Amino acid sequence: MRLTFKTTLATSLIALTLGAGAAQATVDLIYSDTVPETDVRSQLLHTEFGDCLGDEFNFQPYHGATLVAQGTELTAMQRGNLDMANLAIFDFQNQVPAVGILGMPFLFRDYEHMRAVYNSDVLDDLLNETAAETGVHFLAFPYIGARHLSYIGDTRLMTPAELSGLRLRMPGGEGWQFVGQAMGANPVPVPFTEVYTALQTGAIDAQDNGFPATNAMHFNELINHIALTNHLIAANEFVISQSKWDSMTGEQQERVQMCADRFEAAIDAETLRLENEIRAQFEAQGTIDIYTPDLAAFQAHAVEMYGNSDYSAAWPDGLVEAINAVGQ
C-alpha cells in the first residue's frame, strides 16, 4: 500500500503520542538521606530497593544530605519537593506529638522486641494518625542499630549523674535533644555529616550512634570509650509522600511495598551482623574501652525525665504498657 503524506503524518503523530504515554508511565521517585553514599545502608537502598523497582520507576536517591538538610525532609515532602525519605521518629514529633513515644529511651528491650512491636497491630492507630496528619505513607521500619554512648574522656561514666556537663552530640530537633537530657548529658545539635569534625575540634565530647555508624563515619578514630547503654533500639521510618503513593496504580504500589519490605529485611540482617562484627573488631584492637554502665540508673533517670515532661502527656493512654507486653 502506498503511503500518502497525510497517512505518514498521522502515523508519526500516533507514535509520538504512544511514546509520550510510555514516558509518562515511568514513576519518578526522588529520595533524600543523611547517610553518605558509601554507607552500607545506601548500598542496600540501591540494590534491594532501587534495583528491585524495575524499569517502570526512575529512582533518584541523594545521599549525605546533599539535596535536603537533615531534619527538613518531611517538610520537603509536604511541599512536593521530595517523594521519599528514611526518617527518624522525631521528624514527626512536632506535627504529631503522640508519636514521640517511639523515641523514648529504653522503650524497646532489644531488637527482637522492637521488631515484634512493629510487626504487631499495637502501633496501628498511632501510625495511621501520624500518616494522616503528615501526609506520608509508611512503607517499612528498617533497623539501624542500638545507640550507645561513645565519648572522649579519662574515666568510665557509669550513671546519668556522671554525664553532667558532657557535651553529647544529638541530631537537631527538640525530641532528639531531650533524649540527650534524659541520659543526663548536655545535648548539642550537630548534623550527622559534621560529627567527626566536632569531635576532632572538641566542640563535642560524645556521640551516640551505634557500632555500624560509628565505624562507617570513622568516629572510632577519635573516641576512647563506648558505654553499652542500648538506650535507643533505633528503627527508621521509610516513607513516601501520600500524594505520590496515590498517584500510582495498584500494581505499582504493590511493587514499591514489596521492594520496601525487601529493603527492611536486608537492612535488619546487615545491621545485626555489623553490630556483632564491629564490636568484636573494636575489642580486638584494644584502643576503645567498651563497658556496661549502670543501665538501671540510666533507665530510671529517663523514665523520670519523660514522666515529668510535657512529652508524655501527649502519649496515648496505655500504649507504653501495651508495647511492654509484646513478647512477654
- 115, 272 in Cβ contact below 8 A? no
Q: What own/partner pairs with CB < 8 Å and gap ≥ 24 does 196-202 have?
A: 196/222, 198/169, 199/152, 199/169, 199/223
Low-confidence ranges of the chain (pLDDT < 50): 1-23
pLDDT at res. 328:
83
> Cell triple for residue 235?
528503627
Strands 186-189 and 167-170 turn out to be: parallel
d(CA 85, CA 34): 9
Give the per-residue pLDDT at 24.
Answer: 52
Residue carrying the nine cell digits 496505655: 318
Angle at 181 between CA 176 and CA 183, to 5 degrees: 100
Choose among 146, 132, 109, 179: nearest CA to 323: 109
Report the relative pairing of strands 186-189 and 225-235 from DSSP bridges.
Answer: unpaired
DSSP string, 215-279: HHTTGGGT--EEEEEEEEEEE-EEEEEHHHHHHS-HHHHHHHHHHHHHHHHHHHHHHHHHHHHHH
This prediction's pTM: 0.88
What pLDDT score does 145 carry? Answer: 94
Look up the domain containing 292 and give its range: 5-325
Please write the tens of the pLDDT for every residue from 7-25. Answer: 444 444 444 444 444 445 7
pLDDT in tens, 118-147: 999 999 999 999 999 999 999 999 999 999
The whole-angstrom separation of Cα 176 and Cα 90 is: 7
Number of domains forming the structure of the chain? 1
Residue 252's CATH number: 3.40.190.170
DSSP string, 127-165: HHHHHHHHTEEEEE--EEEEEEEEE--SS---SGGGGTT
